[in-house]
Structure 1
Amino acid sequence: MTGPVPGRALPRLEPVGRRRPDPAALVLVAHGGRAGSRESGERRRLTYWRMLPSAKDLRRAGPELGVFMLRYRHRGWNGADHDAQRDVEAMLAELRRRHPGVPIVLLGHSMGGRAVLRAAGADGVVAVCALAPWLDGSDPVAQLAGRSVLIAHGDRDCWTDPRQSLAYAVRAKAVTDRVARFEVLGDGHSMLRRSGDWASLVRRFVLGEIEIEPPDRDITNAMRRPAPAGLTTVLTGAVR
């Protein structure tokens, strides 16, 4: 990746809660955006606020975690520029500089889900969680080798295609056996109807992967099941 260009916006890290000088693990949270837009990635965007509760939930559940929200340079992915992916990679490098050797978990929604999946091969990343990721069949999976992967998608999603995340998960399973995908029945792209169930799944995955809590039984069982059965696991909870 090329260096910053003078006069242009830069991605930013925003700590969630009080910053820890010696975190046991790091979580980088990437929110959604648009396919194409050079507008700024300022925090007033609804996509930013949609992921903030999950980030705060992780910080409360794991006080030894360092949790950071990513602020993009631009609102859009912008074709071959892959701006969101480049921003994730830049901030991963910054986190490694600040906290060398500390394991990192990536969490993203929609465009952010695509960005974190693509950036998962970076040094220090141990796990990646993509919620309703925006995928189109062109995204690589080789970078997932050695990582744990969790994908969740609502069956009522009209913005990103659950069939694409299933096809991606099938391909990922050939690279790493630690892949699970959950179907969130009754919910759409905004993750509002079952917000507590989405948050619980993320929390159980992250805390289990960095060994703050024991591995979650439902996630572990889904990972052990062969494809495609383990990739169409229905997320239990309060279905409305």
Structure 2
Amino acid sequence: MLDRTETRPGAAVLILHGGRADGPGPPPAVNLPGLRMRPFSRALAAATAGRGVVLGRVRYRCRGWNGEQADAGRDALRALDELDAVLGAPVPVMLVGHSMGGRAALHAAGHARVRGVVALAPWCPAGEPVAHLRGRDLVLLHGDRDRVTAAADSWALAGRAREAGARVCALRMPGGDHAMLRDAGTWHGLTTRLVTGLLGLSPLPPAVAAGLEGGGGEPADARTVAAGG
């Protein structure tokens, strides 16, 4: 579903909310993971208004990832395939995903239209494929008090993706939880700066630009980056 269209779209941002490991049925009408992403959508809409950026949400057929079926990942790829037809022309796409949506975004990042991914507290199981991430810009933002998905798994995937040829920056949110409720404004504001920066609409935070270019090292402090450090 597109939240906003432009007469001359130059780029698109797709939002992917979280879900469950298993859940073959459709998401409920009142879906907390989906609601959690609305402040991110509003912040992105305000920052990109009138700048030729289409905003959209990926709708899942199933509530869960469901093992090898990778339902959310398949839905993300389907949405990317449909985007050209909806917009009438191919445009570069940024994916923003939380939790299972972060996994789905990373899964779909090999699609020809995808320029990069901002993954928020993503679910990154050991052994997740990374070869398709070559040439993509990836920023993984994870709280160090997350008890649902492990920040260490994000850092491990970041390292493997970097070795596979992706440009990767890892950001640690001190005290951040999985729901992104602690210091929510920093989550929303920094995500917006990352997306607009990766699309070339604004400067990237210097630490992120340096991380993408240089790679390696410990994850940067997200609050320091958000404050301009």
Secondary structure of 1:181 counterpart? strand
CA 1:78 to 1:197, structure 2 compared with 1: closer, same or farther past 3 Å? same
Amino acid at match of 1:164: D
TM-score w.r.t. structure 1 length? 0.88
Does residue 28 of structure 1 match 2:17? no
Q: Distance in 2 between matches of 1:161 and 1:118?
A: 18
Amino acid at match of 1:188: D
CA 1:142 to 1:209, structure 2 compared with 1: closer, same or farther past 3 Å? same
Shift of 1:223: 2.2
- One of 218, 221, 227 as aligned partner of 1:234: 221
The answer to whether the 8 Å contact 2:98/2:119 transfers is yes
Amino acid at match of 1:87: D
Correspondence for 2:213 = 224
- One of 70, 76, 80 as aligned partner of 1:82: 70
Q: Distance in 2 between matches of 1:77 and 1:94?
A: 21
Correspondence for 1:9 = none
The answer to whether the 8 Å contact 2:76/2:105 transfers is yes
Correspondence for 1:152 = 141
Identity %: 38
| Number of residue pairs matched by the alignment | 223
The answer to whether the 8 Å contact 1:26/1:105 transfers is yes
Shift of 1:92: 0.4
Shift of 1:180: 0.2
Does residue 140 of structure 1 match 2:129? yes
CA 1:43 to 1:181, structure 2 compared with 1: closer, same or farther past 3 Å? farther
Secondary structure of 1:236 counterpart? helix
Shift of 1:124: 1.0
Q: Distance in 2 between matches of 1:135 and 1:156?
A: 16
Correspondence for 2:120 = 131
TM-score w.r.t. structure 2 length? 0.92
Amino acid at match of 2:63: R
User: Please, which runs of 5 or more residues in structure 2 have no aligned partner?
Assistant: none
Correspondence for 2:101 = 112
Amino acid at match of 2:10: A
Deviations 1:188-223 (A, max 9, x none): 100001111111221111111111112331211222
- One of 24, 27, 30 as aligned partner of 1:44: 30
Secondary structure of 1:204 counterpart? helix
Q: Distance in 2 between matches of 1:79 and 1:44?
A: 24
Secondary structure of 1:87 counterpart? helix
Secondary structure of 1:71 counterpart? coil
